[in-house]
Structure 1
Amino acid sequence: MRQHEEKSFISHDGCKLFYRYWPAVESGTNTSQAIVLFHRGHEHSGRVAHLADEFNLPDYQFFAWDARGNGQSEGERGDAENIATLVKDAHCFIEHITQEYSIPPKDIAIIAQSVGAVIAAAWVHDYVPKIRALVLGSPAFSVKLYVPLAVPGLKLLYNFKGNFFVNSYVKPKLLTHDTQRAESFAKDPLITRRISVRLLLDLYTVSDRIIQDANAITVPTQLLVSGSDYVVRRKPQRQFYENLGTVQKEFHVLPGFYHDTFGEKDRQIAIDRARRFILGCFASEPHQPCLLNADQVGYTRLESDKLALPPSGWIKPLYWKFIKANLKYASKLSEGIKLGAETGFDSGSTLDYVYRNQPSGTSKLGQFFDYIYLQAIGWKGIRQRKVHLEELIKLAINQLQQQNKVVNIVDIAAGHGRYILETINQIANKPNSVLLRDFSDLNVEKGKILIEEKGLSDLVHFEQGDAFNRQQLSELSPKPTLAVVSGLYELFGDNHLLNESLSGLADAIPVGGYFIYTNQPWHPQLEFIARTLTSHRDGQPWIMRRRTQLEMDQLVANAGFKKVTMLIDQWGIFTVSLAQRVS
């Protein structure tokens, strides 16, 4: 049996996570290739340790973690703030492996089971790693709770009493036909049978998002589905597979298998298929599709084209007419809705109002409407995006100052500039210069007032400018060493415009300088926005074309930037990325 080493790493928030490491058995061949194992919910890395031997890949390094709140890792048992926390843990784990063991992502394959498979799929979707292969064993996209209306009931109780815990109903004998493995499950002191309701509910939410947008996943993916699974449903697994954006995909139903796919009595069947798939993926160089023309051809273009058409049938038009009438009425009472109707719901003025997050109206009812408006999931994402922007701006400024480089900041579509100004006021070592630009004269006027209010008139200058004019951007003075583009590119589906803007910034930013950009790879209310809200562009319907993170990153890379890091909100709506100008 291969011997393992017990290790740990520190995740994004200081949480110490445990993992097992099996070095490759030296044979004179390339030993940089690795397989990372993600265990089922309630379990830990010891429950998948047998796979390091049973896969019979002695020249591969194996890694297996204990997810937060499980096994020997820190964190409250069976709990986390949300699934996004676990997904970010997974991202940190892979980053740790690549840095500590000098293994590039292209030499890594993932094997994940159940809840671990959902975490792995969400990580691949959100962070777009260039890994070689993804094998998912019975992913828990939809857990069978068996109690009628269990999910709505849990949501109601959660909203009423806050977070609480439920215990797994699954008996060991319903997980596997392997009696020895079932007995070990029952006796394992590291098994965590409980799970928090907020984590369970979030599992459904994240799973729905990943299934609907699986087209964004281009990593070769294999699904191994247990044929007699009493724990999770097969239909969402099939939907996920059918929506996958990779042409290298497989779907296997294993007859008679219970939920513990890689722990079943006849698991060698699953192992052989996964092994063959992984070796096949490693036999050729990894490939990612080119998405530079996804604005012309692709599923996000098709999605936006459908939104541009009138709603079909006779019920939907009446429904959206009713919603618009209600918004029109609410705009007479709510300051936020009124502002959106007057300036556009995607305007800098609306964005600044959302940032302030202070419900206001002509009456108590108006304030209530405004509160509901400001709590929309998209606006929550906007405010979290602001937090992430501030975090990466501080990081970039710190990096430049540590390198003894001048810090000249430019934001080419600043709106009112609130997030830049508030960030500057939070740091002791100020940048050398700050230039804010915007195409709207109103935003320039409001921005100058805000600069005065923040006491930054000596440092910050605001001017009118076109964010898509390459010549204007290439002639920026002083030359920016940190450029920021937030909330702009999401509003324009045309990649030609982005290429002009990105090329202008690449002309202006010297090698080693930084670039912060945002993206909207997902939004759960796209149709609501398109049918009811208006844009700042002549009051037209606000129809957005989403860009997958891969498409956005490719556009940035094509202009001459190398991505350094990325942050994403818990809903998967907005990302904020930091890139560096390369030669």
Structure 2
Amino acid sequence: MRGQEHLQFHGFDGQPLFYRHWPAPTPGTSRRAVVLLHRGHEHSGRVAHLVDELDLPDAEMFAWDARGNGQSPGERGDAPGFEALVRDLDSFIAHIGQQHGIAVQDIAIVAQSVGAVVAATWVHDYAPPLRALVLASPAFKVKLYVPLAVPGLKLMQKLRGNFFVNSYVKPQWLTHDPERVASYRTDPLITRPISVRVLLGLYEAAARVVGDAQAITVPTQLLVSGADFVVHRAPQDRFYERLSSPLKERHLLPGFFHDTLGERDRAPAIAAVRRFISARFAAPLVRPSLRDAHRQGPTFNEADVLAWPPQRNSLQDLYWRFTRAGLRFGGKLSEGIALGLSTGFDSGSTLDYIYRDEARGRGPLGRMVDRNYLDAIGWRGIRIRRSHVRELLQLAALHLHGEGRAVRVLDVAAGHGRYALDALAQGEQRAESIQLRDFSEINVVQGRALINAFGAADIATFEQGDAFDADALAALPVAPTLSIVSGLYELFADNDAVSRSLQGIAAAMRDGGYLVYTGQPWHPQLEFIARALTSHREGAAWVMRRRTQQEMDELVRLAGFEKVTQRIDRFGIFTVSLARRVRHD
């Protein structure tokens, strides 16, 4: 039996969380690790048996107690949200790299139930170059057995705020192993409650990840319990069918209950996991290139369908014509809708209006319509994106100051420049210089006014410029140490153009400089946006081609940057990433 260490790492918010580490008894020439994620309500001790059963002597083994579980702090069964568990996993993997010297590409994850959804969401949203992902009975859809349980919980949450529900699951429904059943009953660290915000967040994240599993290219093994009383099988099958990974396999385990890797007759399942992980560690990392995803592939096909108009006078056509008419009527009442109709819903002027988040319109009715418009899920995500941009800009500035380097900012498509000025034109993180650029003459004029409003005329300039003109960017007179490209590449489907822009930014910088960039890997309202909203480009339909996070990160890497960290909103719509310049040709 391996020796075991009890350690701590800091979650995304600095909260100390408990984990176990089993060093490799016979380490190989290159270090590698397997991370074990426990089921909901449980803790790392419940998966400790897998360390010896998997029999991978050259791999380090790690297992955590998710916050609110086991020996980790927090109210039992609770977290700030399901997305907090995903961010904690990102912090855990980063900690393993920093503290134990094992890179993410040398890590495999084995996760069960709720832990499997945490792992799948992390892989989908953060696009890590993970070596292998094993999901055992992922809880993509829990069997609640009560009709309309989820809508009822959502309504009660609105009325009561966060509250807790107890698990109905009996230990004898989890496994046929009598020892596991008995230990479950007597384990003082197992908690039956789960908070509604975590439970509903689990449902929302699972639905998104299952629906968009094509974004996942990590080698994946799925273990499906054939007699599972706890979760539905259909979402597991849909997830597997949609995976884009060139290496994937699925195993149906007849008669198995939900605790797949804790079942009485689990030896065949354990052997399958061992074989899969060993093969992945023995082979080179599999990482398909998405450089040409704008020419073929799932997101290309999706955008192609959205760009094609419905048949005239069909029910679909009439529906969207009615929707557009409703927007035009709303524009007579709501100032925000009117601005979108006149300048484009993707314009810098619209973006600045969304940032201000002040309902304006004709009378109380107009303000009510405008508030409903401002509270659309996409605009809420945009505002969260702004806070994430600010956070990472200030983090980069802190790093630069710590290295004794000047903070010289370049924003290649600044809109009005509000987020750059808000983050770096005042206070302790005040930059030495801020170069703002935008293609729109209107944005330049209003941006210059905003510079004066911030009292930043001594450090900031605003000029008209094309973010896709690589030569002009490379020839900028002041070499930036911190570049920003926010909300731009999401509007352009062509990866060739995005690559040119990134290469121009990279050419303008020196090694060690930072880049803050945004992405939009998913959106729940793509068809509404394409059929009803207009773009700033001569009033054309606003058809977006999504870029998965892996695709966006690849474009940044090919330009000579190395990703450092990432943020994403709880809806999974907008990402903000920080990368560092690592090569200057």
Tell me, in whole angstroms, the C-alpha distance in 1 between the residues paired with 2:578 and 2:22. Answer: 33
Could you tell me how far apart the structure 1 residues matched to 2:261 and 2:422 are? 51
User: Is residue 55 from structure 1 mapped to residue 54 from structure 2 by the alignment?
Assistant: yes
Structure 1 gaps, min length 5: none
1:153 is matched with 152
Corresponding residue of 1:301: 300
Write the distance in 2 (CA, Å) between the matches of 1:579 and 1:107: 21
C-alpha contact (below 8 Å) 1:392/1:516 kept by paired residues = yes
1:62-211 aligned at under 5 Å gives the runs: 62-211=61-210
C-alpha distance in 1, partners of 2:314/2:188? 59
Aligned counterparts of 2:128 and 2:346: Cα–Cα separation in 1: 31
Secondary structure of 1:134's counterpart equals strand
Q: Distance in 1 between matches of 2:309 and 2:225?
A: 42
What is the Cα deviation at residue 158 of structure 1?
1.1
Confirm or deny: 8 A CA contact 1:31 1:60 kept in the other structure: no
Query: Structure 1, residues 121-176: CA drift from partner, whole Å, max 9, x if none?
Result: 01111111112110000000000000111111111111122111100001111011
Alignment of 1:515-534 (within 5 A): 515-534=515-534
Q: Equivalent residue for 2:277? A: 278
**Cα deviation per residue 1:439-466 (whole Å; 9 max; x = unaligned)?**
1111111111111111111221111111
CA distance in 1: counterparts of 2:330 and 2:429, whole angstroms: 45
The one-letter amino acid paired with 2:81 is N
Residues 353-380 of structure 1: CA distance to partner in whole angstroms, max 9, x if unpaired? Answer: 0000011111111111111111111111
Contact 1:437 1:465 in 2 (8 A): yes
- If the length of structure 1 is used for normalisation, what is the TM-score? 0.98
The answer to whether the aligner puts 1:445 opposite 2:445 as a matched pair is yes
Deviations 1:497-552 (A, max 9, x none): 11221111111111221111111111111111001000000000100011111111
Contact residue 436 and residue 460 of structure 1 kept, 8 A: yes
Task: Give SS of 1:471's match.
Answer: helix
- The within-5 A match list for 1:178-577 is 178-311=177-310, 314-577=314-577
Q: Could you tell me how far apart the structure 1 residues matched to 2:160 and 2:429 are?
A: 45
Shift of 1:425: 4.1
Q: CA offset at residue 98 of structure 1?
A: 1.3
What do you get for the CA RMSD once the two structures are aligned?
1.2
Matched, 1:33 2:28: no
Amino acid at match of 1:336: G
- CA deviations over 1:321-374 (Å, ceiling 9, x no partner): 222121111110001011000100000000000000011111111111111111
Q: Distance in 1 between matches of 2:14 and 2:402?
A: 23
SS at 2:319 equivalent: helix
Give the aligned residue type for 2:231: V
CA distance in 2, matches of 1:124, 1:349: 34
* 1:381 shift after superposition: 0.9
Residues 85, 429 of structure 1: alpha-carbon distance in 2 compared, 3 angstrom cutoff: closer
Please tell me the residue identity of whatever aligns with 1:272: A
Contact 1:52 1:62 in 2 (8 A): yes
Offset, 1:29? 3.5
Looking at structure 2, the residues matched to 319 and 251 of structure 1 have their Cα atoms a distance apart, in angstroms, of: 41
Change (3 A) 1:84 1:429: closer
Question: Match of 1:555, as an amino acid?
Answer: L
Shift of 1:314: 2.8
Specify the code of the residue in structure 2 equivalent to 1:574: F
Counterpart contact for 2:219–2:286, Cα < 8 Å: no
List alignment gaps of at least 5 residues for structure 2: none
CA shift for structure 1 position 274: 0.8
Query: Which amino acid counterpart does residue 491 of structure 2 have in structure 1?
Result: L
Query: TM-score when scaled to structure 2?
Result: 0.98
Distance 2:464 2:582 in 1: 28
**Quick check: 1:24–1:31 contact (8 Å CA) kept in 2?**
no
Deviation at 1:428, TM superposition (A): 2.0
Which digits, 9 at most, give the CA deviation of each residue in 1:185-223, with x for residues without a partner?
A: 111110010011111111111001101111111110000
The number of residue pairs the alignment matches comes to: 582
CA distance in 2, matches of 1:477, 1:299: 41
Q: Take 1:143 and 1:241, find their aligned partners in 2: how far apart are those partners? A: 17
Moved more, 8-17 or 532-541: 8-17
Distance 1:232 1:448 in 2: 56
Which stretch of the first structure deviates more once superposed, 275-284 or 225-234? 275-284
Answer whether contact 1:475 1:508 (CA < 8 A) is retained: yes
The one-letter code matched in structure 2 to 1:116 is: G
Matched residue of 2:321: which SS? helix
Inter-partner Cα distance in structure 1 for 2:471 and 2:478: 15
Name the CA distance, whole Å, in 1 between partners of 2:183 and 2:400: 54
2:573 maps to amino acid? I
* Secondary structure in 2 matching 1:576: strand
How many angstroms apart in 2 are the aligned matches of 1:377 and 1:441?
29
Task: Assess if the C-alpha contact under 8 Å between 1:441 and 1:464 holds in 2.
Answer: yes
Distance in 1 (alpha carbons) for counterparts of 2:266 and 2:30? 26
Deviation at 1:293, TM superposition (A): 0.9
Distance 1:468 1:31, change over 3 A: closer
- What amino acid is the match of 1:228? A
Contact residue 31 and residue 61 of structure 1 kept, 8 A: no
Amino acid of the structure 1 residue aligned with 2:522: W
Q: d(CA) in 2 for partners of 1:266 and 1:501?
A: 56
Residue of structure 2 in register with 1:7 after alignment: 7
Question: Could you tell me how far apart the structure 1 residues matched to 2:101 and 2:25 are?
Answer: 17
Amino acid across the alignment from 2:540: Q
**SS of the residue 1:18 aligns to:** strand
